Amino acid sequence: MPELPEVEILRRHLEPLLKGRTVRHVTVRRAKVLGKTPVRDFKRRLQGATFQKLERRGKFLLFKLKTVRAGDRGRLVGHLGMTGRMYLQAAGAKLPKHAVVVFNLGRRNFVFEDTRYFGRLTFDDRSLARLGPEPLGPEFTTAYLAAALKRSSQAIKVKLLDQSLVAGVGNIYASEILFRAGISPRVAANRLTLAQVQRVGAATRAVLQDAIAGGSTIPLDWAGEGTKDGWFYFGRTAETPDYYTERLQVYDRQGQPCPVCGTSIRRLVQAARSTFYCPQCQK
DNA sequence: CACCATGTTCCTTG
DNA sequence: CCAAGGAACATGGT
């Protein structure tokens, strides 16, 4: 599921559902996702805690909790990894095969499901310290980006995936951003002109903002049957309008015509990840 | 069986 | 110390 737009959409969806709800009981089915937090500590801090705000930093969700013990400022950090999902379902409903952590909130359960177990739900917040600026925040300026890119000879596509450069861009939107900017994914970061850096910054904001706007129109109900992991990016269901499936211009469209010039979209591998681009539009 | 997949962290090499 | 590249993590789809 998850790059910045998907996490932001999930945050907006979950916050009103969780706010004011108190955790009655915690079930941990895969201790791995707690990271360094021991299961016993995790449960002790969460039992009786009440959800307050839900924030986002890059691809991380930050659950602000009012905990039972005074002075224990609860900040639970969530990350969806590659296949994580979070949703509420009736307390009596059957849990999915890969339910990893379940919070009972009374009549409903808040479920963290993660097929590949790459996700995290933990009180260990050290990952956050390594993040660069929010791409939709005031610190993500052309001046910042130019200075940061100057220090790297890595290909710009690979650099966009570096969470310490900018927090929240993943493999799908990195290709989309460079297509929008009209820049080849192979160009070394430190060889971009200032005008190109400016375009990368503007395209980053535009692509992410558009994705959030598009996804926010869709009702989320992952507890229901018939929804798939690819829902956000590619999915077509009875409820999703056609335009939504057209949102991605180049990702996973190898061999298809470029939506701008008709040239065949190409795939290449960089840092062991697929990149998609139009060889005509992106020089 | 082979290859691919929305992510992060750790280890090695230079 | 840093940058860069690759493997590991784990499961499922095609």
Contact A213, A9 (CB under 8 A): no
Distance, CA of A150 to C1' of C2, in Å: 15
| Mean per-residue pLDDT of chain A | 89
Q: Are residues A116 and A23 in the same domain?
A: yes
Q: Are residues A158 and A111 in the same domain?
A: no
Contact A256, A264 (CB under 8 A): yes
Can you tell me which residue has its alpha carbon closest to the C1' of nucleotide C3?
A: A152
Boundary of a domain, candidates A114, A129, A144: A129
Boundary of a domain, candidates A65, A94, A129: A129
Cα dihedral A157, A192, A250, A215 sign: positive
Segments forming the whole domain that contains residue A252: 132-215+240-277
Q: Are residues A144 and A98 in the same domain?
A: no
pLDDT digits (tens, 9 = 90+) for A72-82: 667 999 999 99
Q: What is the CATH number of the domain that holds A117?
A: 3.20.190.10
Q: Are residues A155 and A262 in the same domain?
A: yes
Contact A158, A170 (CB under 8 A): no
Closest listed residue to residue A260, CA positions, set A269, A275, A250: A250
pLDDT band (50, 70, 90) for residue A126: very high
Q: Are residues A247 and A263 in the same domain?
A: yes
pLDDT digits (tens, 9 = 90+) for A7-18: 999 999 899 999
Asked if residue A263 belongs to a domain, the reply is yes
List beta partners, residue A121: A78
Closest listed residue to residue A230, CA positions, set A126, A132, A60, A115: A115
How far, in whole angstroms, is CA A43 from its chain's centroid? Answer: 26
C-alpha–C-alpha distance, residues A145 and A165, integer Å: 8
Q: Coil, strand or helix: which one is A163?
A: coil
A5 in contact with nucleic chain B (CB within 7 A): no
Q: Are residues A174 and A269 in the same domain?
A: yes
Can you tell me which residue has its alpha carbon closest to the C1' of nucleotide C9?
A: A118
* Residue A59 annotated to the active site: yes
Q: What is the CATH number of the domain that holds A136?
A: 1.10.8.50
Higher pLDDT, A226 or A145: A145
pLDDT band (50, 70, 90) for residue A2: confident
For residue A226, the model assigns a pLDDT of 38
Asked if residue A234 belongs to a domain, the reply is no
- Nearest nucleotide to A164 (CA to C1') is B8
Query: Residues, chain A, total?
Result: 283
Angle at A108 between CA A103 and CA A113, to 5 degrees: 50
For residue A246, the model assigns a pLDDT of 60
C-alpha–C-alpha distance, residues A272 and A254, integer Å: 17
With 70 as the cut, is the pLDDT of residue A178 above it? Answer: yes
* Structure-token pair, residue A59: 């691809």
Q: Are residues A257 and A139 in the same domain?
A: yes
Which residues of chain A between 105 and 144 are close to nucleic strand B, CB under 7 A? 116, 118, 127, 130
For residue A73, the model assigns a pLDDT of 65
Strand bridging mode A120-122 / A108-114: unpaired
- Nearest nucleotide to A3 (CA to C1') is B6
Boundary of a domain, candidates A86, A102, A129: A129
Query: Mean pLDDT over residues A201-229, rounded?
Result: 73
Specify the amino acid at residue A7: V
Query: Mean pLDDT over residues A48-56, rounded?
Result: 96
pLDDT digits (tens, 9 = 90+) for A217-269: 665 665 544 344 344 554 444 444 444 446 889 999 999 999 999 999 999 99
Distance, CA of A241 to C1' of B10, in Å: 42
pLDDT band (50, 70, 90) for residue A70: low
